[in-house]
Structure 1
Amino acid sequence: MQQVLRNSQRVSLAAGPLATSKGSSRGVVRVHASADTDFASYKPNVAAFFPGQGAQTVGMAKELVAEVPAAKDMFNKASDILGYDLLQLCTEGPKDRLDSTEISQPAIYVASLAAVEKLRATEGQGQVGANASTKVLKLESIDDLWDSPPGCSVCWVHIIFEDGLRLVKLRGESMQAAANAAASGMVSVIGLDSGKVAELCKAASAEVGKENAVRIANYLCPGNYAVSGSKEGCDAVERLGKPNYKARMTVRLAVAGAFHTDFMQPAVEKLQAALAQTEVKKPRIPVISNVDAQPHSDPETIKSILARQVTSPVLWENTLMTLFEKGLTRSYEIGPGKVVAGITKRINKEHNITNIFA
């Protein structure tokens, strides 16, 4: 998940939350370089949130491309790059293929960017688009929303659309391959605070051994955390969660493997190599990474964090609470589904959020 934010003079994009090695969503690991502090004092007012993997559904983007020609053009360009008909997969399925990591990540990336085109068409007061010669996305005003594109669970606002799509494609394929290499998974734990979930992970890991350990991978909102690790570790979490730790429920997630853990390390190495060959522009807006819940401006730091994101916990709860503390008053969820809006309301019931559907 990602976010786009705006202050009185400029806009900013954010992407999810993070945890320390001890699994606490409160202790944030700072990774700023000396040349990476341009946005240290950002003050968000309006945000755009973009969903991550799991938001995809068969039928998404069908109405969008019928209503917005620019969205259809984006899917056509994406299909040329990917080598398959992405729009057909989004609108017709089959579901099992759309749900695969290697397909769902590009699908959500493109569908969310296409939804930005809808926002531009319906609420824009300025033209926001790609420079015809450089193809670098420019940012103008869209109502009160400073607008910027998403990219699955990582943000590519400072990377051109085509390069971003190629990176997301590689990321999805590499994560799928890493998942296929070892039996692993994820479990949603409902009804416990993060401290109790961390204790549950510790107990489950003690049962199955260090090489099969589990940890919190997604800090979504109070009472809703996703645990990730080996199949044996996930089994132990389900076995211990309700009787021993009084979880309301545990739910095995329909994902390929242990995302946001070291099980995905092979994908990191491939992504690092690709990022080294990709031009990353210095952002015009603050970019908040889900690796440390902080804004970044230095291109080399951004490359490092984009790679680290694959194995780092997602601290969405931490990021949202920080944004609210800094003054965020209004937001949009742009892309498929309503997952982000639901999570946001769990943290701040009074928050004003509008859905722009893909």
Structure 2
Amino acid sequence: MMQVDLHGGFGEKGRTSVAIRGNDGHVLLDVGIKVGASGREYYPAIDGAGDIQALLLSHAHEDHVGALSWLLAEGYRGPIFMTEETLEEAPATLAHYADRSQLKQFPLPRDRVQLFKPGETLTVGDLTIRTGRSGHVVGGVWFAVGNGNETIVYSADVLPDSKVFVMDPIPACDLLILDASYGADPVSSETRGDEIAAWIAGHPGGCLLPTPLFGRSLELLAVMPDRFAIHASMRQALASQIEAREALQPEIIATLVQKLAAAIDWHDGEPLPECPLLADDGMGTAGPSAKLIPLADASDYPVLLTGHLPASSPGDVLYRKGRAAWIRMPTHPTLSGNVGIWQKAGEPPTLGHSCTLPTLEELGRHICSLRTDVRTGQSLTLREGKIT
């Protein structure tokens, strides 16, 4: 028997966090924040952080790691498992999204970090946790948690058809916790990449593309034209990601190296360039794009948004004003990807994380075992292949 505690990301987008308990093991998978929320809703619905034996982080995006300092403040004292790339990226995410006073008092405790590589297996109590590359970001992983009799897969954020990142196959399981961010969106990442390239070509006088620093930035880099710019502060992070060759599709590496070498460094205070400009983050809530989005708005400079837009975020406000275009660059599974993951996992009972109820219900029309009645704050039990 295993218990599953849904601490965040169920019936909502953000604060992704799931706990799994065995007879002698209690692990927490991710501890994210919810952009656009405030107060208690900003953090996962966790009580009793001191009871958790181990925290495992799938990657360093804010909706998976942004509440780490909060968790430490709540009394978590155990080890923190993550990949080397996640460790490198997490401090920047926390600097943007953690409460400043909490972060000052409870910074990332490097002495408690236990590094692993994607593909390695971890053990906590009676629980065995297999890992695999996610296809979402360098160093990103999924987790398969087993007790010897049953297996629960938590996909975290995955992308099975990425042209940039490698995703390892998710194993057969008794419960699948699936990345349902896009619901039943039928459009592939290749098609959306072509749409983005065409939009850029239609704005030859220059345009701004806000992007997360890690992950989608490489997907966008791959579709940039011959002449484009990046915010100068991004270069080292982009180079580090490209150097992580085991995480990348072999055939794209030379293209990424070439693109980055050709990119023009743009610095704050310079005139907006007459070419595409990549700048982080993707929502305009932090990083260089927090200043660039208002500047582009005031200058009537075209803006293309390519990812999730939390309500009232700067990107969302600009889009609703009609001053920005939006074309999703998939960094999560579209319909065919999610159906494929579910089928290869054995068509088990399935939960969807990181999406609202209407999005989940739409996906449920294609995945018959998908539960659309679960919400953050609930606990479920897996016993003999049945969920109660």
TM-score, length basis structure 1: 0.31
TM-score, length basis structure 2: 0.29
Structure (1 or 2) with the greater helix fraction: 1
Larger radius of gyration: 2
